[in-house]
Every structure is written in C-alpha cells, then in structure tokens.
Amino acid sequence: MGRLNVTLCGLPLDNPVIPASGTFGYGYEFAGLYDINVLGTFSFKGTTRQARFGNPTPRIAECTAGMINAVGLQNPGVEKVISEELPRLKACFHKPVMANVSGFSVEDYAYTCALLDKEPQVGWLEVNVSCPNVHGGGMSFGTEPRAAAEVTKAVKAVASKPVIVKLSPNVTDIVLIARACEDAGADGISLINTLLGMRIDLKTKRPVIANTMGGFSGPAIFPVALRMVYQVSKAVRIPVVGMGGVRSAEDVIEMMLAGASAVQIGAENLVNPFACRDIIAALPQVMDAYGINTLQDIIGGAH
C-alpha cells in the first residue's frame, strides 16, 4: 500500500482526495484541464429521478471566505445521466465514481439508486438527505433521525454498492442522525453539506439570491465541518467522508486526523479548477513536514 492509499467502504483509493458533488460536474468538464485520473474518485453532480431546471437566478452570492449557492439540483434526470453523461465520463475517467443522489420522497431515492447501482462505473452511492421532503410538509429528510433512517433502509434494500449517507449540518445533534443511518444499514457517512445562509443587496434592499437563502460553503465553514467530522467519527463504526471548506493538503490531513477516511473538496474547485490536482501533489511534502508515513495510519489520530 502506498503512502497516499486509503480504502473507502472496502474499495481502494489511490489517495483520499474527492471533488464534492455539484463542484465537478460529471467529470469530463475538468478532463480538458488535467488528467482527472489522479483523483481518488469524485462525486458527480446531484442526480434526481426527474430532470430539474433548478431555482430561478440569481443563484450565487459571494461572501467573506465563502459563497452561497441555491442552484436547486439542476440535472437532466437519472435516465439521461446513465445514457448520456456516464458514457462521456467513461472516456476520460477509468476508476469507480461516486454517484450523488437526491430525492423528494423515499420512493424517489430508491428508484434513482436502483438504476445507478446497476452501472459498472458507479462504485459508491452518496445519498444526499438534505433535500426537501415534500411528503412531510417541506421537512428535510436529513434533519430528523427517523426520516434519515427510512431513506437509508429503502436505498439499502435496492443497492448492492456501498451506501454513503450525506448529512446536513443544519441540525441540533448530527451524531443522533449519523447513528440512525448506521443502524439502518449505511456503509458510510459523508459530512457536512452546506450551512444555510443569505446575503442582502444594500442597493435594492432585497436578498441577493432569488431563493432568498442558500447553501453557505467555503473556508469559513471548515472549523464547523471539522468539529462535526470529529464528533461523528467517534460515534459510529462506519467510515466518514469529511468535507466543508477544505482547500489545502494541510486541511486534508486535519480532516483525516479528525476521523475522515477520505476528504471531499467543494467550493475551492470553483475558485481554482486545479485545486484537487494541486492538493494531491502537495500531500507527500506536507506529510514529510509533519512526520506522517502513510495517510491510512492517521485516520482518527486526534481522538
């Protein structure tokens, strides 16, 4: 096993660096910039049962040390992802990919995951439970343990691939929800999704984003994400994928010390499209500086 090698839910990764869903498209968009096979893997754009146009514009707002987005899960729907996006990806990425799935009902999640589970290119199903639950009056699946567990059970019933449940930080106790997902059969937990934020335009005196609020991401949320990864990884026996404000090799190592088996990079890809490539290249030198032999050895080292 090499210095950077790790495993995630039993599958080997050349390194722990994973571009986060929504910041790396379906992969081929970045393949013209560099060889994306240097990545451990990546999580492709959030996919739903039906095609979605997304939220009205403007969808993006800048903030100090971060950004707010309210894209609204714009995607062509699972059938077109399988028939059009995955074949294009296969031409430029030769490793298993992480399929990110969102839904608006338990049935949506199960349907979409069942289709993607059959695709040879898909190595993991990352189930995003922070989307509105229209059957529950607008409540997010990921803010209540029982609802998160219900989605997890439904997906596990139709999936043979590892199921990693992606949790929302907009909760009082994320450990309770992580444990509920583990008890329901989840193979891994990824966290954190974006925090809820907003900006107001002083000239118009109205919210900048048409949706009023959106997901706040970027370096400002790193300490919050690190704390939640630390808490959850201590509380569960399954692997944790850490994310939230990661932008350097040092941040990756810090996340792994907190308990992450792999680390996703999100907003930084939108600032610097070479971010993940550069972080991977920098890891050996940073490891040497801190006396780290292999990354696998440091997972949870801060506990």
Distance separating alpha carbons of residues 287 and 101, to the nearest angstrom? 34
Catalytic residue among 9, 92, 113, 131: 131
Three-class secondary structure assignment of the chain: CCCCCEEECCEEECCCEEECCCCCCCCHHHHCCCCHHHCCCCECCCECCCCECCCCCCCEEEECCEEEECCCCCECCHHHHHHHHHHHHHCCCCCCEEEEECCCCHHHHHHHHHHHHCCCCEEEEEEECCCEEHHHCCEEHHHCHHHHHHHHHHHHHHCCCCEEEECCCCCCCHHHHHHHHHHCCCCEEEECCCEEECCEECCCCEECCCCCCEEEECHHHHHHHHHHHHHHHHHCCCCEEEECCCCCHHHHHHHHHHCCCEEEECCHHHHCCCHHHHHHHHHHHHHHHCCCCCHHHHCCCCC
Within 13 Å of residue 55, how many CA atoms lie on the same side as its CB? 16
Q: Would you call 131 a catalytic residue per the annotation?
A: yes
Residues with catalytic roles: 131
